[in-house]
């Protein structure tokens, strides 16, 4: 008998909650296009220091990174932020983008990543450098011949030149 009262009580409560308020629910409105995003746009990346770990917490940056072609081949540390320097703004092809550099914690010369992120379009590209097998630990990390490169996304030639110049600065 007790269970019947609970069931009846729940049914009445559910009916009351789902009944339209006022004179009735308005008819559905036909959409002329995609529904607007339910989530507000991310605020602009602040001018203060932002590191890879910080940027990965942002929905726009994190989503672009997750969708980045080639990212599935990366080790785990880039998805966690690694050891990074503050992101910096760079101009490329008439657009200002964020350049983010990070490396494998406790072993920077062996693995490094550079990412370019265009905040307005959420476009991302980058390069991942891994020390070639058999190369000694104490060799010059500023020599491209010592690394295997994995291009991330679809960087054009100007983007590749910028990333290589940042990864292997001339002395």
Quote the pLDDT of residue 139. 80
Ramachandran assignment for 94, one of left (phi > 0), alpha (psi -120 to 50 degrees), beta (any other): left
Residues of the chain with pLDDT under 50: 1-40
Q: Summarize pLDDT for 26-73 with one digit per residue, the tens.
A: 333 333 434 334 444 566 776 679 999 999 999 999 999 999 999 999
Distance from C-alpha of 156 to C-alpha of 83, rounded to nearest angstrom: 27
Q: Name all domains of the chain by residue range, CATH numbers in brackets.
A: 50-171 (3.40.1420.10)
> Residue 46 has what pLDDT?
65
pLDDT for 140: 79
Tokens representing residue 159 in the block: 């983007």
The answer to whether 104 and 111 have CB atoms below 8 angstroms apart is yes
């Amino acid at each position: 008998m007790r269970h019947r009262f609970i069931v009846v009580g729940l049914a009445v409560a559910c009916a009351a909650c789902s009944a339209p308020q006022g004179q009735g629910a308005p008819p559905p409105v036909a959409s002329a296009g995609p529904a607007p995003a339910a989530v507000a746009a991310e605020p602009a990346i602040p001018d203060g220091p932002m590191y890879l770990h910080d940027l990965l917490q942002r929905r726009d940056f994190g989503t672009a990174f997750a969708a980045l072609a080639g990212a599935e081949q990366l080790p785990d540390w880039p998805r966690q932020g690694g050891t990074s320097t503050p992101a910096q703004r760079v101009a490329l092809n008439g657009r200002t983008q964020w350049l983010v550099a990070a490396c494998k914690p406790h072993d920077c010369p062996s693995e490094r990543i550079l990412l370019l992120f265009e905040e307005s379009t959420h476009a991302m590209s980058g390069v991942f450098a891994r020390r070639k097998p058999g190369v000694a630990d104490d060799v010059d990390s500023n020599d491209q011949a010592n690394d295997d490169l994995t291009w991330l996304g679809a960087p054009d030639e100007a983007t590749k030149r910028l990333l290589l110049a940042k990864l292997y600065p001339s002395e």
